[in-house]
Structure 1
Amino acid sequence: MTYGEVDRRGIATSMRVTGTGRDAAGNARAFYYNGKETIDLGTFGGRDAQAYSLNRCGQIAGWAQDKNGLAHAFHYDGTLNDLGTLGGTESFGFAISTCGKVAGWSRTSMGETHAFYNDNAGMRDLGTLGGNASYALAMNGVGQVVGYAYGPGNNWYHAFLYDARTGAPIQDLGTLGDTSMAVDINDAGKIVGNSRVADGVLNAFCWEAGTMHNLGLLPGARSAEARAINDAGLIVGNMTYPDGRQVAFLHDGTTLRELGTLGGSSRSTAVAINGAGLVVGSSVNPAANAEHAVVWSSSYGMVDLNTRVRNLPAGIVLVSALAVADDGGIAVLTNKGLGVLRPRN
């Protein structure tokens, strides 16, 4: 099997990684690397499966096909557990909490697509904002789920919050002017996402205590996109400029700053941040004229991971850093497939 896809939620401490690879026939296969060996999670009798999110207990959320080729959300805890659907044909697991609760989306008996929350009591339909679709994209450790849902006539979509502790209907988080989408939430309930303002430009936001705050743009920037938030409230994402430059950014709750690029190139991305504020992503390395995996820290700035890894095998290039665990382990895409980097003591 070859491995090529790891979501930013697909890593945990002790070098554990989940993601999606391809077998010799080109079928998608969900895998779990437990720090020692790689396990094919299997399917429900079908061909394909994908894994997205891994918690500290080694539990995984994703989806796998049944014998009819229909996707069903799963919860993996050593066994692949079919979570069923909301009455329709398919469901897709996307996020898992530290307690093993799963969120995602499913077809309903009416053929609509609705976000769901699955706990020991079964799959809950989170509904919509009046339209016929909603999608859950992230969840925190206390059972709060975020994503986006469509309004009447499917004429718009807004970021939403669902709190499993109350079971109340999803809350419309509003917008900065047009559409909005929530992409991450921390355990304090701070939510980050992206919203188009009245002129259609994409801006990053942080929602807190009932208010959506525009993170703003740096001078000359055209748009901004948030990707993740850690429990300290640090937000990372990417800023674009009219000349085509894209530069990773960090927002510390007060100040927005660029994280730079390698060698002054025109491109860097930030995809994930851990509890200690370590940011991972990629940047174009001008000397190599190629994309390289990078890590950023407030103590040393942005560095090329290819220059920091000891005993990197000949011919291996670290192309992009995909996810980072709280103990500093990093999942990377290389020119030969996936790898995981162990932090130095």
Structure 2
Amino acid sequence: MRTIRSARAGRSAGSARSTASAAGLAAASVLLGLTAGPARADTPAYAIQDLGTLGGTSSLAVAVDHDTVVGNSQLTGNTTTHAFAYDRRTQQIEDLGTLGGPSSTAVAVHGRYVIGNSPTATGASHGFVYDLRQHTLTDIGTLGGSTSTVGELSGNILVGSSSLAGDTLTHGFVYNVRTHRMKDIGSLAGPTGGSGAGEILQDRYVVGNSTVTGQPSTVLHGYVYDLRTRTFTDIGTHGAASSTVNDAAGHTVVGTYPLGGGNFGGTHGFAYNVRTGAWTDLGTNLFVHPLVGGHTVVGSDSMVGWAYDLKTNTQALVGGIGVTEPKAISGNLVVGNYYAANSFGFAYRADTGTLTKLPSLGGLNSQAVGTDHAGEIVGQAATTPPDIFTANGAYHAALWTPQP
């Protein structure tokens, strides 16, 4: 099963930033007397669950897998934030701790393992793996440099990026969560080039971005690295100066590339098929944060979200009037945030074109950042406000479950 992350991510929005944004939009809407329009009658309903906090005021859920939701929460006093895991069977929230520094951040969960990042006692950020069965936190280390960052976990394989000795170069790596072995995968430019790994497909193909031979270090190409054959494939630029991979699922890699001037210039989204090597230009409607699930690609033109069907090569708006921001996708289910006239999380079905507003926890606003193959959604929602003059109470990590 492919781990579903929050938007890259660095892909997940910070809890404080999200809360401030939602609260600002809510306050403006209250002053103007505006309310969000109702969802269509044929869209599914969702039940919401408050996952609580680690003692602080606010929390944010970023990923869900089977019985576990992971996220980040303020501690008592709100002076720092720790990663947490919420067990849906026992309804208990667990503090995952840190690697010696003051804070930690969860990125994804797959089965018994949670991955994330945390500063060590020296202040350098390292990736970590937390074993939910043994309740142990493991520092994955580095490739010889001072820092490492996790990307995605699939099966037993974790991919990410780490600085090399001297901290002048960064390379993508693969890390086995059972054997605790890290492997440097190099770059398209060889040992002296730079690379980063963000995705893994079918427990075999590592996907990321890399410098290339003969080009400045600022010029990147997307790549696919085969763990079986230990070979790189440069996915190219389709005639542009560079390409940048953003997400991958199944056999498809999606990203962006800059074209020249004229009517067809600007930044375009693209999709690349790992099996066939076929490249699909997605145009200028999906150049902001493209994501892929099955044969559906979603992204934004910086104002409105769009869904692109790779089978039919057709596009459709995500939602109606107002700004829509897709944050995650699994199959045909797209989740994200809608800003007209209030800010709320949404669930959008790309196959039916229906959009559902997600409920809050007694306040006005909510935001959705992740989903899984079962159609469950995670993010945060406002609790009941303290008085009639305030739109929202504190934001708590939330889980939305589709109702039959």
Shared fold, TM over 0.5 = yes
Distance 1:25 1:292 in 2: 18
Q: Give the secondary-structure state (helix, strand or coil) at the position aligned to 1:133.
A: strand
Q: Give the secondary-structure state (helix, strand or coil) at the position aligned to 1:223.
A: coil
TM-score (norm 2): 0.67
User: Deviation of residue 43 (structure 1)?
Assistant: 2.4
Q: Is the 8 A contact 1:247 1:266 kept in 2?
A: yes
Q: Give the secondary-structure state (helix, strand or coil) at the position aligned to 2:53.
A: coil
The answer to whether residue 227 in structure 2 is matched with residue 223 in structure 1 is no
Distance 1:258 1:270 in 2: 16
Where does structure 1 lack aligned partners over 5 or more consecutive residues?
10-17, 28-33, 285-290
Match of 2:46 among 14, 36, 41: 36
Distance 1:187 1:267, change over 3 A: closer
Letter of the structure 2 residue corresponding to residue 181 of structure 1? G
Aligned position for 1:251: 272
Q: Give the secondary-structure state (helix, strand or coil) at the position aligned to 1:90.
A: coil
Where does structure 2 lack aligned partners over 5 or more consecutive residues?
25-43, 354-404
Q: Identity percentage over the alignment?
A: 26
Question: Which runs of structure 2 are paired with 1:1-345 in the superposition (5 Å)?
Answer: 7=7, 21-22=18-19, 36-55=46-65, 57=66, 59-68=68-77, 69-78=79-88, 79-97=92-110, 99-119=111-131, 120-121=133-134, 122-140=136-154, 142-168=155-181, 170-177=182-189, 178-197=193-212, 198-200=215-217, 201-209=219-227, 210-219=230-239, 221-231=240-250, 233-243=251-261, 245-253=266-274, 254-261=276-283, 268-269=287-288, 271-274=290-293, 276-283=294-301, 291-306=303-318, 316-317=321-322, 319-326=324-331, 328-336=332-340, 337=343, 338-342=345-349, 343-344=351-352
User: Deviation of residue 211 (structure 1)?
Assistant: 2.1
RMSD, aligned α-carbons: 3.0
TM-score (norm 1): 0.78
User: Deviation of residue 205 (structure 1)?
Assistant: 0.8
Distance 2:70 2:311 in 1: 34
Distance 1:195 1:24, change over 3 A: closer
Letter of the structure 2 residue corresponding to residue 151 of structure 1? L
User: Deviation of residue 256 (structure 1)?
Assistant: 4.1
What CA deviation, in whole Å up to 9, does each residue of 1:274-325 have, x standing for no partner?
1x321111237xxxxxx3211111232241225xx6xx5xxx4353332222
Q: Is the 8 A contact 2:282 2:308 kept in 1?
A: no
User: Deviation of residue 130 (structure 1)?
Assistant: 1.2
Q: Give the secondary-structure state (helix, strand or coil) at the position aligned to 1:89.
A: coil
Higher relative contact order (CA 8 A, sep 6+): 2
Distance 2:233 2:256 in 1: 17
Q: Give the secondary-structure state (helix, strand or coil) at the position aligned to 1:86.
A: coil
User: Deviation of residue 148 (structure 1)?
Assistant: 0.6
Q: Is the 8 A contact 2:73 2:81 kept in 1?
A: yes
Letter of the structure 1 residue corresponding to residue 234 of structure 2? N
Q: Is the 8 A contact 1:218 1:256 kept in 2?
A: no
Q: Give the secondary-structure state (helix, strand or coil) at the position aligned to 1:22.
A: helix
Q: Is the 8 A contact 1:246 1:266 kept in 2?
A: no
Distance 1:72 1:151 in 2: 27
Distance 1:292 1:24 in 2: 18
Letter of the structure 2 residue corresponding to residue 125 of structure 1? D
Most deviating of 64-73 and 41-50: 41-50
- After the TM superposition, which parts of structure 1 deviate over 4 Å for at least 4 consecutive aligned residues? 18-21, 23-27
Q: Is the 8 A contact 2:159 2:199 kept in 1?
A: yes
Q: Is the 8 A contact 1:173 1:212 kept in 2?
A: no
Distance 2:20 2:211 in 1: 39
Which structure: larger Rg?
2
Q: Give the secondary-structure state (helix, strand or coil) at the position aligned to 1:246.
A: strand
Letter of the structure 2 residue corresponding to residue 238 of structure 1? T
